[in-house]
A and B are shown apart, each in its own frame.
Chain A
Amino acid sequence: MNKRWPGLLLTLAMLTGCDDQHILERTGFCHTISYDLLPDHNFKIGLSVPKADPNSKTDREVLQAIAHSSKDSQPKLVRQTSLLLVNGQLRNLLFSLPLAEGGLLDQMDTLSRDPSIPPKVKITLADGDAYDLLKKNYKEHPRTDRYIYTLLEKEASYQTVPEATLYEFIRDYYDDGIDPIAPIIKDAGDTITVSGVGLFRGDRYITRIKPDDLHILALLRHNLRHADMTIHLASEGQHKELITFNYLKSDRKIDVLRDKSGKPVVMIHIKAFGSVLEYIGKLKLHSDADRNTLLQQAARHLESRAEEMIKFMQDNKVDSIGIGAYVRNSMSYASWKKLDWYEEYAHLTVKCKVDLNIVNSGQTL
């Protein structure tokens, strides 16, 4: 009798597979979903699904539906394809800026509720119509959905454009001392390019950091591990002076001090090390005195740009680098709860101190 049990159990276990079937060839793995807000407050939802069929002329299906919500669009999208659509391999969510301006919480709530959507799916903002961007094919580049994904992956790996995933966005939304951010991309004719990083207050898009300032944002927001950074010390007419750090490592430390009146003063210390493989200017890298002068100049330059960026964020009341978390941790819970943080933040004194170091300067003197 005992020998029959395993067989019976195996049969029972196998029988469960007769229900809830997912056959690979008939399944469409959604790669990217785009969201646009229409004037009538409905959503235009776009969907890019890669196709594995070798007989097909195209390598993906792009579907579109007008709906009240993302789940509402599902049956409309399903009606347009022979594939069974699943979200398990979803890589990117593309939101148009007008939609993000109105707040993304409803979308985020639906997305995080759905267990089939991975928490590591990317959140990206689109300059212009998100669906048009997703639908367009770029001749010299891979499938557009994949193109956007690999572009952002590569940028994130070099830490120039911060990574924004569903998990990070929601976490920063719910945490009370930091605001979420997300990269912005745009159609640049024959290519797609990163046109900045969107800064949010809560779930609403407020403003953006321009592409040239992204390395400053990266330095302020987290520790860098292997970033590249060019600092333009002077660029008047023909006189150019610039220094490029490669494999830059940085450590960020935020201290909250009190001034005489008891108001918080935030000190951001950034210590960075990197190799210098390009320097254009009059100083000599092999001279200790020149190198120190250059590093001092570069550090002061970074400090002033960082403080400018923080001022810009304060004016827009977006705490994208998470100063609030440090201020919160420096005071009592009751005082923090009483505080109107965004008001306080707008008038906060924030100072930056940068310490740059050259690990090596390449093969020549």
Chain B
Amino acid sequence: MKEKLSAFHATILIYMTQVGVFSFSLPRMLAQHFGTNGWLAIFIMAAFVFLNTAIIAVVYRLSKGNSVFETLERSIPKIVLYPIYLFLCCFWVTIGCLAAKEYIFIFQIIAFPSTHPMIFMFIFCVLAYLLINQGIYNIAKVSTVFYIITVWILFLFFFYYHDFKWTRLTPFIFQGGSPDKIKGFFDVYPAFLGYELVILLFPYSDKKTHLMRTAFISCGLVTIVYAFIAFVSFGFFSLGYLKVLQYPILVLFAYVHLPLIERIENLLYGFLLFTTMITTVMNSWAAVEVGKRMFPKLKNAVLSFLIMLFGYVISFIPEVLMEAQRWLHYAAYIETGLAFGFPIALILLLLIQRSRGELQP
């Protein structure tokens, strides 16, 4: 019998896909866009994340857990689908590699500033390629290991207890931020992205996986973690200071001072490589999944190699951190649109198929 994802592994996999480079600047973005007590905006965004997950759950139910590509190919001719597939394939690997490139640029702020970033990027891509080749079950298992390696960092946040002041939080809600809250929403929302890839996990799960339930749990987990990090940051830094900090998480790490060792931020930031790695791997894996529909006869290893090579070449384009950030922001806008648009389109398609009696009872 073919192996299926376990509920636990799937939860961790989705969680790890969601947590990535956006989280490093999350408290600052919340402060800039939402102002005082901006951390509360996390819960507003979480409501949309849950709504989006519910839409995907409808797709899951209507398609009875079958591959979304089969649903598409049942009604839409391949000539129409191929350009869409090609776009999705290129787009997903690009977003994965841009996240990796931004991580490397941030890493170079604190370590190895004069090394060529593409050397790190090469090693990153090789690691990602090796993981993608192992298939989704092994990616899920590896992400669980990575989760264990990184999750303890959250406990460091208790280190800031002494410098945390409730008065710095202020009693005001969303005051002093940018007036355009809608833009703020779209700028911060990508921190949650990654859950939408669950739509590609349908064929790899069975009833025991409770795939949609695990997706809801991981979104809840991400919400709690983000709200906690942002809450601590607001009480530790104050609103004014948060607004000028490029990556508040890095300063939080730099503040950790243990009796025998200090300046451990390089090490801590190194651990965050694992969360970014899973984000990149899952996006590239999604690209490979789409690629398989276009080139079913091509060997998986060759296809993954070509896709990662494409991603590597694309990541040459942003040469500085600001460019990588800008590119990733634009890509994230599209991905947000896709996260909502793709499942809605699928629901419409499935309803049409059901009315035509094309779906098996």
Residues of A within 8 A of B (CB): 5, 9, 12-13, 16, 19-20, 88-89, 115-116, 118-120, 167-168, 170-171, 173-177, 322, 325-326, 328-329, 333
Contact of A120 among B115, B239, B255 (CB under 8 A): B255
* Contact of B110 with A16 in the complex, beta carbons under 8 Å: no
* Given A329-B167, A333-B172, also A20-B254 (CB < 8 A): no
CB distance from B122 to the nearest CB of A (A): 8
Contact of A171 among B109, B170, B238, B254 (CB under 8 A): B238
Find the B residue at minimum CB distance from A18.
Answer: B115
* Chain A residues, Cβ within 8 Å of B241: 170-171, 173-175
* Given A118-B254, A119-B251, A119-B254, also A16-B168 (CB < 8 A): no
* Contact of A328 with B170 in the complex, beta carbons under 8 Å: yes
* Chain A residues, Cβ within 8 Å of B130: 5
A174 to B130, CA, bound (A): 46
Contact of A333 among B119, B126, B163, B176 (CB under 8 A): B176
* Chain A residues, Cβ within 8 Å of B163: 167-168
A12 to B118, CA, bound (A): 13
CB distance from B346 to the nearest CB of A (A): 38
Contact of A118 among B168, B239, B243, B262 (CB under 8 A): B262
CB distance from A143 to the nearest CB of B (A): 20
B237-261 residues with Cβ-Cβ distance < 8 A to A are 237-241, 243-244, 250-251, 254-255, 257
* Given A171-B238, A175-B240, also A120-B123 (CB < 8 A): no
Majority secondary structure of chain A interface residues (helix, strand, loop or mixed): helix
Contact of A167 among B36, B239, B251, B262 (CB under 8 A): B251
Interface extent on B, as a size class? 35 or more
* Contact of B250 with A115 in the complex, beta carbons under 8 Å: yes
A175 to B171, CA, bound (A): 14
Closest 3 A-B residue pairs measured CB to CB?
Answer: A174-B240, A175-B238, A174-B241
A326 to B170, CA, bound (A): 9
List 27 A–B pairs whose Cβ atoms lie within 8 Å, in order of A's numbering.
A9-B123, A9-B126, A9-B127, A12-B122, A16-B119, A16-B123, A19-B115, A89-B263, A115-B254, A116-B110, A119-B254, A120-B255, A170-B241, A171-B238, A174-B239, A174-B240, A174-B244, A175-B238, A175-B239, A175-B240, A175-B241, A176-B240, A325-B167, A325-B170, A328-B170, A329-B167, A333-B172
Contact of A115 among B109, B123, B238 (CB under 8 A): B109
CB distance from A202 to the nearest CB of B (A): 11
* Chain A residues, Cβ within 8 Å of B167: 177, 322, 325-326, 329
Instruction: Confirm or deny: B120 has a beta carbon within 8 angstroms of a beta carbon on chain A.
Output: yes
CB distance from B32 to the nearest CB of A (A): 13
Find the B residue at minimum CB distance from A322.
Answer: B167
A144 to B110, CA, bound (A): 29
* Contact of B238 with A16 in the complex, beta carbons under 8 Å: no
CB distance from B236 to the nearest CB of A (A): 8
* Chain B residues, Cβ within 8 Å of A118: 254, 262-263
B146-172 residues with Cβ-Cβ distance < 8 A to A are 163, 167-168, 170-172
Instruction: Confirm or deny: B114 has a beta carbon within 8 angstroms of a beta carbon on chain A.
Output: yes
CB distance from A218 to the nearest CB of B (A): 15
A-B contacts besides A16-B115, A174-B238, A328-B170, 14 pairs, CB < 8 Å: A9-B123, A12-B123, A13-B123, A16-B112, A20-B114, A88-B263, A89-B263, A118-B263, A120-B255, A120-B257, A174-B241, A174-B243, A174-B244, A175-B168
A329 to B167, CA, bound (A): 7
* Contact of A329 with B115 in the complex, beta carbons under 8 Å: no
Majority secondary structure of chain B interface residues (helix, strand, loop or mixed): helix
* Contact of A119 with B239 in the complex, beta carbons under 8 Å: no
* Chain A residues, Cβ within 8 Å of B240: 173-176
CB distance from A252 to the nearest CB of B (A): 11
* Contact of A16 with B120 in the complex, beta carbons under 8 Å: yes
Instruction: Confirm or deny: B341 has a beta carbon within 8 angstroms of a beta carbon on chain A.
Output: no
Instruction: Confirm or deny: B113 has a beta carbon within 8 angstroms of a beta carbon on chain A.
Output: yes
* Given A175-B241, A325-B167, also A19-B262 (CB < 8 A): no
CB distance from B299 to the nearest CB of A (A): 14
Instruction: Confirm or deny: B175 has a beta carbon within 8 angstroms of a beta carbon on chain A.
Output: yes
* Chain B residues, Cβ within 8 Å of A171: 237-238, 241
* Chain B residues, Cβ within 8 Å of A170: 241
* Chain A residues, Cβ within 8 Å of B127: 9
* Chain A residues, Cβ within 8 Å of B237: 171
* Given A167-B255, A175-B238, also A329-B170 (CB < 8 A): yes
Find the B residue at minimum CB distance from A167.
Answer: B255
A20 to B127, CA, bound (A): 22
A5 to B237, CA, bound (A): 44
A9 to B263, CA, bound (A): 27
Find the B residue at minimum CB distance from A115.
Answer: B110
* Chain A residues, Cβ within 8 Å of B238: 171, 174-175
Find the A residue at minimum CB distance from B172.
Answer: A333
* Contact of A20 with B113 in the complex, beta carbons under 8 Å: yes
CB distance from B172 to the nearest CB of A (A): 4
A16 to B110, CA, bound (A): 15
* Chain A residues, Cβ within 8 Å of B239: 174-175
* Given A16-B120, A115-B110, A167-B251, also A333-B175 (CB < 8 A): yes
* Contact of A19 with B112 in the complex, beta carbons under 8 Å: yes
* Chain A residues, Cβ within 8 Å of B36: 333
CB distance from B270 to the nearest CB of A (A): 12
A328 to B168, CA, bound (A): 10
A322 to B243, CA, bound (A): 20
* Chain B residues, Cβ within 8 Å of A16: 112, 115, 119-120, 123
A177 to B176, CA, bound (A): 15
* Chain B residues, Cβ within 8 Å of A12: 122-123, 126
A88 to B265, CA, bound (A): 11
A167 to B109, CA, bound (A): 18
B112, B170, B243, B244: residue with the most chain A Cβ atoms closer than 10 Å: B170
Contact of B171 among A5, A19, A176, A329 (CB under 8 A): A329
Find the A residue at minimum CB distance from B241.
Answer: A174
A333 to B130, CA, bound (A): 54
* Chain B residues, Cβ within 8 Å of A176: 240
A167 to B160, CA, bound (A): 12
B114, B167, B175, B255: residue with the most chain A Cβ atoms closer than 10 Å: B167
* Chain B residues, Cβ within 8 Å of A167: 163, 251, 255
Contact with A along B165-206 (1 / 0, CB 8 A): 001101110011000000000000000000000000000000
A167 to B241, CA, bound (A): 10
* Chain B residues, Cβ within 8 Å of A175: 168, 238-241
CB distance from B113 to the nearest CB of A (A): 7
* Chain B residues, Cβ within 8 Å of A120: 255, 257, 262
